[in-house]
Chains A and B, each alone.
Chain A
Amino acid sequence: MNIYEPQLATVTELVDETPDTRTLRLEFQDEAVRESFTFKAGQFGEYSVFGAGESTFCIASPPTRPGFIECSFKAVGKVTTALREVNVGDTVGFRGPYGNSFPVDDWKGKDVVFVAGGIGLAPVRCVIWNVLDRRDAFGDVTIIYGARSVDDLVYKRELEEWASRDDVRIVTTVDPGGETKGWTGEVGYVTPVVEKTAPAAANAVAVLCGPPIVVKLTLPVLAELGFADEAIFTTLENRMKCGLGKCGRCNIGPVYVCKDGPVFTAAQLKELPAEF
């Protein structure tokens, strides 16, 4: 088997999350692949537009919803700009799933706190649905999500859906100046909102994902709230080509993000050289 040969998938749905962020739903064209494909929350893949190339993102849909996968991306590079151009019915390529995953099954019985900034909600969304689809297995679920502006909030329909549930506590925030007239959420950066929301750390895990600055600033706040480094999970991104531990570019010191990650605990992050 040639590990670099992609599976073909049809775009069956697309959602414009923000002016520059889009979600695609993909269904594998090969029936056997469609039926046998499984993955774990937190794993990623190489998505491709033929002629533009491959790009790496997490699988943003949860493994508890088989039959399709979804990805959300911001159109910033060559491939994501091309992906932004595809329509429902078009064919794209996919290789994966690759990498490790969030140990969601180990969290049964615990409270789960999700903290995300911007497009960082994409990998977290997969875990949120993975938890909510088995809601009874977990304790309290808290979601703290921030973006630059109301326009930049991704998964707006789902944010509303989560807000309407009485078994989820959700706090949304936008950066100062990013609010609209009718905005009823918080105004402020994610980190102080986490501090203010102060989710309980006893018997809880935190899942944190966002721009490097959000991760960097929020880690000490979570520690202050009592979350142990082993109970804080995040997912890293680095430029990748193969996703298979061979092309040699995603390592942070001795750790390969594609094979040893992308999911790491805060304890593991502290062991890494400061080169990410």
Chain B
Amino acid sequence: MARRSVTAGKQAALAECRHNKKMAKNRKNQAAAIRFGPALKASFLCLLIGGSAVGYVWQKNEIYRLGQQIRQRETKLVQVQNDNKRFSDQISILHSPVMIDRRAKELNLGLAPATPMQVVRLTETPVAPERNGSRQFAQRPVTELTP
């Protein structure tokens, strides 16, 4: 029984010795080995950090660029609104009775206000629909005419 246990102990020691020899062999050949995993990880990390930095700068640049565009468009909008107002004012001024009177005098058109005798006044009265439903024309009786 005791002998058996000594043999088992030797075998375990031998196995450990073999294992140690194998480890030593790998460490010896480590410098020459190509290990893609860590390199990829490192590259990925660098790209991530670099990409984030570039993205951040790009984003900031875009914000600035878009801000400038907004500013330019706001300026343009104000300018267009001002032009719009100026033109609408101009139309309104050209329509004003004073301006029309002035132009009429300048062009010597010989216009004069209508006298009451030149005005015909018509009074609109509701027309009852005809019973036979024939086609109706927009005819209204002239009930009151004043000069």
Do A and B associate with each other? no
A contacts, CB < 8 Å to B:
none
